[in-house]
Chains A and B, each alone.
Chain A
């Protein structure tokens, strides 16, 4: 059984799809109930994964391998594509994050008002795709599961979004399509070069001093220029996903037009795939280039932080502000990676998890406000604390977490990332730190303007959160605080894997 654990975990959302297939489409209640309950299965399995995880092992755990496709090359040779799964300290937290955010987003999905069954079918397929990306031990699988997140997301954006939803859906599809196309090119090149698609195996071939790839003047030696090309191509592919400025415009549109549940999984999990892949593939396969180009990535990170923060500062639309704030916060992930040491990487992963939780919570809160007040324009809101004390209170707390207040997950993440970067590139880190101040400014501005001050007459009698709506808020918020006050829940499983990656990038680990 243990061998199949990851497969069962990854495909467990399909159980819900199967059940939904038998539900008549005019039963919204049943569809929603099945949809939400179905996300509990992967959640329970992910928690089991977390508790059973051996945090001392650096390599992949729960490995499973199976033959899948054999591509014949000649009568004697063939290239195998295998079905391979495994998790390590880098992917396990992300699997757990996926399961948690999915369940919360499924609850938020209660507010959808049409085609309930289709919504949850697509939702569960996206969840399967996200879990699959993080459990894949094989590039081909990673690509396929990645596509599994794109296509259903297109439908979810286009069918259940707001006014300009179709444009948002197409923008999402085309941008991410370009990203995955570039990714596929690189994967196929790697396949042709190495004859395998196994991530760990490729990493070993590229980094081990014994491998023929690394010995000049031996047939099969891969020159640095080829590696640089592959590195940059992968960076570009993930730049769209993360997103790195200037490839971020799809995100603005998506976050403006999508249904809250859809934005929650997109901001909470999907954009983390970029950061994850950057660490797993770019740093894993080409550590020397990661080390040499760290400055470039750090600069990109700083641009993201400052650009996002400055534009967030001038937004009057709360959702747009949050979208830009996500751009800014993902910059911190880049900074952490660019630090090329264990603290920095830890900060990057902390930031991915932390931003996943915070962004999901904030988008949810804003959409609740939007739904009730009919607008999410800061200028038209104000004094919401009077009519919606619970929502406003949690809003304030989430803002603080996002601004990096000590005791919350945002603080520990930014702290680690910046400490890491100050260790290796103090000048860039200093510039990047300005972003922290800007973040505090725009978040406070938004919070103060919406929750305090005079209440608009038409907003005086808005309903506060109902019991079911409080559940995702409380769960997400408690996790944010849990990581903030007890970071070991996250850092312990990470350690062994992080040491391996960091030492790979050039022995910078301390």
Chain B
């Protein structure tokens, strides 16, 4: 017990091995970048980064299936919830690195590409911290690490005016969002006197009945509004179209998948843990009901519904494909909020499954979008015209990604939606289920708009489209994943269910 390092040496630091790996690799990359010649080819950094991500992924998998471990006074936890999200982040970043390799090499795109790679890793580190922490402070530190890295990454196309503008917009609105979140957190801290989520959960019910209920609601609203920024849900979604359009395409993919998933990690962890103990007597049923399943769920449902409606309808009018994907992402955030709004025991299963399906489809789609945009020198949807004749397999894959995003059967996205939809119906939230279906049908129109261009419109050229190998790998893997999970979702559903038990989020970890 009395090591010369004090209490720090007694923690089981191996739980943080994935984070340490990423941190180490990021540091290594920055050093290599420093020592490399100015003109040297920095693509090697991407491969090193990828190796680091794979190693971290190995550590996460090694950590899965264990009991809850918590270190540093319950500040940092390792549970099924954290592992599930970390795997999603790592998978997403691996794809982003692969599609970056052939995008970043052009000098005109991203000068000083070294920093691009290690900022990506530090953003990843931030996301992983968000998934694992059980403390308002660490959560916020993770959030800011992710956000600050993302702000810079969005602006890495230094000579591109639109990129600069979107980075600026992102910083400003991100700053506002962070301030709003902090403001909300400060109320919670003020009421309970603690920043630890589990301590807060213990103390909050007393405060709720002690006359602080309005303050608690206010804190909830401030936090959810601020966090809506990270997942680009209504009401804080305005930044997404501009930023998605201006950012380098791999970063757009990163924002749409990894950053969004991280937002969900923090939202789920925080709201479920903090508010679960507060119960309220339901006048109609005459029994106690947790307010998170009652009132708060209603507010989350409204946000979800608004995101689905606004995202899907505004996407109809877009001609820029990256903007369109931004609105599509807003809509997807709406779907992803449905499990939280219906709050069943399957919440984590549903969210993680949907995120996997979304990761596959969106990463694949952005990989294709990147190739097409670069080849056609335009981000207009018309750039996809005649793609089928130039690259049949690419367009077939793209078709499946779009089917998956639209939630059409035999794609992973369908089961994702079906799964979510089932719990909404099961809890008799028929209006939410109805909006989900109605907006899905609306989304057919714009997703199939790309399909129309690929198959039904003649393109400017018929020459075959060259696909760089790393991108081809991403497209191939995500395509196989989308289709295989679409036909046989069972193994994935079962894997999630057995390895990431949801109730672990409430269990206190084994301390020393």
Query: Is B421 engaged at the interface, CB distance under 8 Å to the other chain?
Result: yes
Query: Is A33 engaged at the interface, CB distance under 8 Å to the other chain?
Result: no
Query: Is B315 engaged at the interface, CB distance under 8 Å to the other chain?
Result: no
Interface string of B334-349 (1 = CB under 8 A from A): 0000000000011001
Cα-based distance from A405 to B413 in the complex (angstroms): 50
Query: Is A289 engaged at the interface, CB distance under 8 Å to the other chain?
Result: no
Given contacts A158-B452, A188-B425, contact A73 B346 (CB under 8 A): yes
Is A144 touching B349 in the complex (CB atoms < 8 A)? no
Q: How far is the CB of A156 from chain B (nearest CB, A)?
A: 11
Q: How far is the CB of B159 from chain A (nearest CB, A)?
A: 39
Cα-based distance from A224 to B451 in the complex (angstroms): 43
Looking at chain A, what size class is its interface with the partner chain? 20 to 34
Contact of B434 among A70, A174, A185 (CB under 8 A): A185
Q: How far is the CB of A32 from chain B (nearest CB, A)?
A: 19
Given contacts A143-B409, A182-B437, A188-B421, contact A72 B493 (CB under 8 A): yes
Is B493 touching A174 in the complex (CB atoms < 8 A)? no
Query: Which residues from A are CB-within-8-Å of B419?
Result: 71
Query: Is A69 engaged at the interface, CB distance under 8 Å to the other chain?
Result: yes
B:427-469 near A, CB below 8 Å: 433-434, 437-438, 440-441, 444-445, 448, 451-452, 455-456
Give the residue name and chain of the B residue nearest to A177 (CB): B441
Given contacts A151-B403, A184-B437, contact A71 B452 (CB under 8 A): no
Q: How far is the CB of A157 from chain B (nearest CB, A)?
A: 10
A:141-174 near B, CB below 8 Å: 143-144, 147-148, 151, 154-155, 158-159, 165-166, 169-170, 173-174
Is A69 touching B490 in the complex (CB atoms < 8 A)? yes
Given contacts A155-B455, A166-B456, A173-B444, contact A181 B438 (CB under 8 A): yes
Query: Which residues from A are CB-within-8-Å of B437?
Result: 181-182, 184-185
Given contacts A74-B345, A185-B437, A188-B425, contact A148 B493 (CB under 8 A): no
Q: How far is the CB of A189 from chain B (nearest CB, A)?
A: 6
Is A154 touching B448 in the complex (CB atoms < 8 A)? yes
Give the residue name and chain of the A residue nearest to B498 (CB): A72
Query: Is A22 engaged at the interface, CB distance under 8 Å to the other chain?
Result: no
Query: Which residues from B are CB-within-8-Å of A173?
Result: 444, 448
Query: Is A15 engaged at the interface, CB distance under 8 Å to the other chain?
Result: no
Query: Which residues from B are CB-within-8-Å of A185?
Result: 425, 433-434, 437
Cα-based distance from A72 to B347 in the complex (angstroms): 11
Query: Which residues from B are CB-within-8-Å of A191?
Result: 422
Is B441 touching A181 in the complex (CB atoms < 8 A)? yes
Q: How far is the CB of B328 from chain A (nearest CB, A)?
A: 16
Interface string of B396-423 (1 = CB under 8 A from A): 0000000100001110000100110110
Cα-based distance from A174 to B449 in the complex (angstroms): 12
Is A72 touching B497 in the complex (CB atoms < 8 A)? yes
Give the residue name and chain of the A residue nearest to B503 (CB): A75
Q: How far is the CB of B417 from chain A (nearest CB, A)?
A: 9
Cα-based distance from A386 to B497 in the complex (angstroms): 72
Cα-based distance from A126 to B440 in the complex (angstroms): 22
Cα-based distance from A148 to B403 in the complex (angstroms): 12
Query: Is A475 engaged at the interface, CB distance under 8 Å to the other chain?
Result: no
Query: Which residues from A are CB-within-8-Å of B403?
Result: 151
Given contacts A69-B490, A181-B437, A181-B438, contact A170 B448 (CB under 8 A): yes
Query: Which residues from A are CB-within-8-Å of B410?
Result: 144, 147-148
Is B422 touching A70 in the complex (CB atoms < 8 A)? no
Is A144 touching B409 in the complex (CB atoms < 8 A)? yes
Query: Which residues from A are CB-within-8-Å of B346?
Result: 71-73
Is B441 touching A166 in the complex (CB atoms < 8 A)? no
Cα-based distance from A71 to B489 in the complex (angstroms): 9
Query: Which residues from A are CB-within-8-Å of B421?
Result: 184, 188
Is B425 touching A70 in the complex (CB atoms < 8 A)? no
Query: Is A27 engaged at the interface, CB distance under 8 Å to the other chain?
Result: no
Query: Which residues from B are CB-within-8-Å of A189?
Result: 425
Query: Is A192 engaged at the interface, CB distance under 8 Å to the other chain?
Result: yes
Cα-based distance from A316 to B441 in the complex (angstroms): 34
Query: Which residues from B are CB-within-8-Å of A158?
Result: 452, 455-456
Cα-based distance from A158 to B457 in the complex (angstroms): 10
Query: Which residues from B are CB-within-8-Å of A182?
Result: 437
Cα-based distance from A185 to B426 in the complex (angstroms): 11
Q: How far is the CB of A125 from chain B (nearest CB, A)?
A: 10
Q: How far is the CB of A197 from chain B (nearest CB, A)?
A: 11
Query: Is B494 engaged at the interface, CB distance under 8 Å to the other chain?
Result: yes
Query: Which residues from A are CB-within-8-Å of B494?
Result: 70, 72
25 A-B contacts, Cβ less than 8 Å apart? A70-B490, A71-B493, A73-B345, A73-B346, A151-B408, A154-B448, A154-B451, A158-B455, A159-B455, A159-B456, A165-B456, A166-B452, A169-B452, A170-B448, A170-B452, A173-B444, A177-B441, A178-B438, A178-B441, A182-B437, A184-B437, A185-B433, A185-B437, A188-B433, A191-B422
- Residue positions of B touching A, CB distance < 8 A: 345-346, 349, 403, 408-410, 415, 418-419, 421-422, 425-426, 433-434, 437-438, 440-441, 444-445, 448, 451-452, 455-456, 489-490, 493-494, 497, 501
- Residue positions of A touching B, CB distance < 8 A: 68-75, 143-144, 147-148, 151, 154-155, 158-159, 165-166, 169-170, 173-174, 177-178, 181-182, 184-185, 188-189, 191-192
Known contacts A69-B490, A181-B437, A188-B418, then 13 further A-B pairs from the complex at CB < 8 Å, ordered by chain A residue: A69-B415, A71-B346, A75-B501, A148-B410, A158-B452, A159-B455, A166-B456, A174-B441, A174-B445, A177-B441, A181-B441, A182-B437, A185-B437
